[in-house]
Every structure is written in C-alpha cells, then in structure tokens.
Amino acid sequence: MVFSSNAFLFLFLPLFLAIYYVTPNRYRLRNWVVLLGSYAFYAWWRVDFLFLFIGVTVWNYLIGLMIARHGARTTGAGRWLALGVTVDLLMLGYFKYANFGVASFNALLTGAGFEPFVLSHVILPIGISFYVFESISYIMDVNRGDVEATRHPVDFATFLALFPHLIAGPVFRYKDLAEQFESRDHSFDKFGEGATRFMQGFVKKVFIADSIAPMANQAFALADPTTGDAWLGAIAYTMQLYFDFSGYSDMAIGLGLMMGFRFMENFNQPYISQSITEFWRRWHISLSSWLRDYLYVPLGGNRHGVFNTYRNLFLTMLLGGLWHGANWTFVIWGAWHGAILSVERALGVKVGSAGRFAFGRWALTLLFVVLGWVIFRADNVDVAFRMYAAMFSVGDLHLSEVFAGDIDRLQIATLIAALAIVAICGIRQRLPAQRFAWPAPARATAAIGLLVPLFLLALLKLSAQSYSPFLYFQF
C-alpha cells in the first residue's frame, strides 16, 4: 500500500484515524492503535515479512535492555552493542546485497571459465534499510547514554513501525520522539496543519513528479540519445526525484501531525546549495545527519589528521551510496559525492549563508548534483556512461525524433513549472524573510483556494493512472 493510492486514501486512512480518535487518550492506548495500524499497513504488502520486522524489533529492544543493564560505555555494554549491530547488518546485508554479491561473484567466475554459483533470488523487504538504521541508532544512543533504554516495548515497536515513515523515511531517532510516545498534543489546528502538509506532498508527487517521470524514463531508455535528449532527461529526473521524495516526506510529516507527532524536516530547498557540503545539509537531512553521527563520527570524523578526515568523508558517502541499493551505480554515486566533499574540505569551501549568493558556485554545485543523479538513475553503468557521452559530445542539441515523439506538452509544461517552483522557493529563502512576509489568514486562504482544488484534481489524476510507487521504495 502506498500513500498515493485509492486503497490508502479512501479505506485505510479514514478507518485508522476514526479508530485512533475514538480511542481514549490514556495509558498509551493510542500507541497501540498506531502500532497495530502500522503492522496492518506493512502486512498489506506481505504478511511473512511482517514477522521479520517484528523479530528485528524484539531483538533490538532486548539488546537495548542488556546495554542498559551493564551501563553506558562499559565493556559489557560494548559487547552487547557489537552483537546487536552485527546481527542487524548481517540481516540487512543478506536481504539487500545477496543477489548483488552473487551476481558480481558469478561475473568473475564466468570470466575465468567456471560455472556460476546458483542462489535463489532473495526478495527485498520494503523499508528494511530504514528500520534497520533506526534500530542501530537506538542501541548506539543507549550505549552512549544519549537516551535511556525504554521499558515500554510498545513504545519502541511503535517507533520503528510508524507507518507514515515506514517505507521511505525520514530516518527517525528514538531519542527525538521518546517524549511524544509518552504524551503528545492533539488539536484541530495541528490536524489542519497536517492535512495541509499531506495535500501539499500529494500534489507534488501526483501532479508534478508523476507527470515528469515518463520524460525521464524515456530519455534513459534511448539507445542512442542526442545531447539534447540526455540533458533534458537528466534535468527531468533531477526534478522528478526531488518532487517525488520531498512529496513523500511532506506526506509523512503531515500524517504524523494528524496523529499528534511532530517529525523532523527532511528537505530544505537543496537545489539552491552553493556547495555539495551544503547540499547534504539540505537533501534527505535525516539520512545525512544519521551518516554523520553514526558512521562518520565513529570512523574518527576529523579528529585524527587531514588524511583520515578525507578518508572518513569518502568512506561515509561510499557506504551511504551502497545503502541506497545493491548496484555499482550507487557505489559510484556515493564515491562521486565523497570525492567532492573531500575536495571541498581540502579547499576550505564554506557552506553558503542565507544572505549571500554566488551564482558561479551555485551553478557548479547544481552541475555536480545533476551529473550524480545520472549514475543514480541509470539501470547500470553502461546506461550511465551512454548518457554522459551524449551530454558532453557537444553534438546535436535538438531532440531526437524518437524522444520528441514520446513526450507531450503537458510533460514539458510540468517540467517548466517544477523548475519555476524550485527557483521561486530558492529565491524566497535566499532573500531577507521580511520581503516575503505572508500573514496567517492569507496562507489559510491560499490553502483553501489553491491547494484543495489541486489536491482534488490530483485525486482524479490518481484514479485515472496506473500504480505509481515512490522512487525511494526501492531503497
């Protein structure tokens, strides 16, 4: 089940919210509703993987208790932490990388003239990357003494299973939500804020991302793209991915508000960044901060000399790329960003400030980002380098007849609208806030007068189109 589906919008969500709000707000009973509702949401896809999910939950809950019993940062706690993280990573590694590892190993075997190794195809459980990372952060925080191990198994299970973020993030930390499991506010204003945010994300996903998607897909499927084809396809995917993923995050944050939770923001106008360092403070913020705190810092961060700092930056992004998927394209994408981050650190590049804008730095950063998205999107390395060859061949800037015949005016208009939205929002953030002060009544009027009709039109579009999952479901 996905948020942008009739089953979710007209069956699951109304039924869940009705049960949630008729349940008394005491004894953590609403946490039970959230937990059981989230399990039902997950089981809609496959019931058998729900048991794996529950097993991961029980394992890490018990590991947290054992760490707490020994005391934060003690030798005994360290052993339990190592055991917990090892089991988590082995489980993630099997389901996510077994097929990739066997395929890579078989390529070496067949190249050497040996018979390939046979392994039944391993199905990837949805959301596994997110709930494993969240489990690891929990037991690491308990060991660090940043949070007390919870004695409420339902609270911990609800933390991992919260259906708004279960499939594609944001990546949560228990310490940021612990108090909200004990008590949280519910009000018409908060529910209305959440509904508005959900509609905003829905429009971004269904109206913009889904309309641009065919253009990007067709460009990357071309056997011999022109320079114009390749650049238009790369730009289309750059916009599609942002509006798809940020739209999901908006919907997740909105659903959380409707249940009284307030989640962290996951995007902050990333395409106005003036360095890759700044980009990673604005793009998928929950993941980039997770990688910093639970991978870069444990590797040593910048505490052990210049060389080790660059190595740690590179390894963090390399592993972050691999986290996105079992494909050499993601490894290369992670290495690309890791190398640029290391160079920026060596050159002393500063993160851009809200009041200063250097056009050259912004243009170069956006170019690096777009080039990175090409390898990120490509099905394999060959497709990526075919796109790169076309982009930098300085050949035919016109669209090929095949590509031009497959795209329509609506797709072009939507892409232009997406670029305009990104530009306007970026300018609005870069310039002084007082220039764009908008009274609350005006915002409410705009939400009712513009957002609601767009949301209703998006519902009609959704009902007329085929199934369209979020891009980050595959991770």
Report H helices in 128-226.
Answer: 128-144, 153-161, 163-166, 174-182, 188-203, 210-221
Q: Which residues contact 87 (CB under 8 A, 6 or more apart)?
A: 59
Candidate list 165, 284, 324, 337, residue with the active-site label: 324
Four-point Cα dihedral 172, 178, 179, 182, nearest 10: 120
Which of 448-455's residues contact partners 24+ apart within 8 Å by CB, and which partners?
A: 451/196, 451/199, 451/200, 451/203, 452/199, 454/199, 454/203, 454/207, 455/199, 455/202, 455/203
Task: From 261, 251, 253, select the one nearest 31 (Cα to Cα).
Answer: 261
Cβ atoms of 216 and 233 closer than 8 Å = yes
DSSP 381-392: HHHHHHHHHHHT
Q: Are 326 and 96 in contact (CB under 8 A)?
A: yes
Structure token digits, residue 379: 């099905």
> Omega before 125 cis (within 30°)?
no
| Strands in 244-327 per DSSP E | none
SS3 assignment, position 348? coil
Structure tokens at 37: 């509702």
Tokens encoding 382:
């060959």
Q: Known catalytic residue: 324?
A: yes
Q: Under 8 Å CB-to-CB from 12, ≥6 apart: which residues?
A: 1, 40, 41, 44
Q: Please check whether residue 31 is in contact with residue 158, taking contact to mean a CB–CB distance below 8 angstroms.
A: yes
Nearest Cα residue to 158 out of 140, 185, 184, 188 = 184
Q: Which residues are known catalytic residues?
A: 324
